[in-house]
């Protein structure tokens, strides 16, 4: 497994753990066990589950599993892949921060922009490797 995949899967699992914990708190809130203010965690739960976990896990595993190039670098532009990984997690952190710092409204659009650039960078690396075997 390439090192980038190791880091992406670890980061994804970490965020799965935190996201599920928030999900359990939300479920308890829905059941009336916790103060309704716990609903404030919903945005963070969605962010961690959709971008931090699902998207990061899918792209990280794709980087490992898609057909490799026959020439070096066999996984494609590795440096751009690392940029995508760092930006993806920076974007998630910015969106989480924006949920808790309403006085900085720019955090949210900046976070989404960073996530978009991250996704584009990773797709740019992966796209040429989406091909039939033997091609
Ligand atoms: C891959 C796993 C998961 C993903 C992608 C995910 C994603 C989401 C999304 C997108 C929403 C917003 C739904 C809406 O507003 O209509 C949501 C809400 C919620 N999630 Fe998750 N979630 C996941 C796992 C979990 C788990 C494991 C729990 C509980 C242990 C949980 C508890 C909740 C609760 C309580 C809500 C609020 C539902 C409501 O509005 O009544 N989620 N989740």
Residue whose Cα lies nearest atom 20 of ligand 1: it is: 23
Q: Residue with the nearest Cα to atom 10 of ligand 1?
A: 46
What is this structure's pTM?
Answer: 0.92
Distances (CA, A) of 1 to 11, 29, 43, 66, 135: 15, 40, 32, 12, 22
pLDDT in tens, 26-72: 999 999 999 999 999 999 999 999 999 999 999 999 999 999 998 99
The answer to whether the CB of 21 falls within 8 A of the CB of 48 is: no
Q: Where are the domains of the chain?
A: 3-129
Protein residues with CB under 6 Å of any ligand 1 atom: 20, 23-24, 26-27, 30, 42, 45-46, 49-50, 53-54
Q: Which atom of ligand 1 is nearest to the CA of 53?
A: 1
């Amino acid at each position: 497994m390439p090192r980038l995949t190791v880091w992406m899967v670890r980061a994804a699992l970490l965020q799965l753990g935190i996201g599920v914990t928030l999900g359990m708190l939300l479920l308890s809130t829905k059941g009336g066990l916790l103060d309704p203010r716990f609903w404030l965690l919903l945005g963070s739960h969605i962010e961690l589950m959709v971008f931090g976990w699902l998207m990061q896990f899918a792209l990280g595993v794709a980087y490992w599993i898609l057909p490799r190039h026959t020439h070096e670098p066999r996984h494609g532009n590795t440096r751009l892949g690392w940029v995508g990984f760092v930006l993806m997690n920076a974007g998630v952190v910015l969106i989480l921060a924006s949920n808790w710092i309403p006085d900085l409204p720019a955090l949210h659009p900046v976070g989404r922009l960073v996530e978009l650039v991250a996704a584009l960078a990773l797709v740019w690396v992966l796209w040429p490797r989406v091909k039939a075997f033997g091609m």
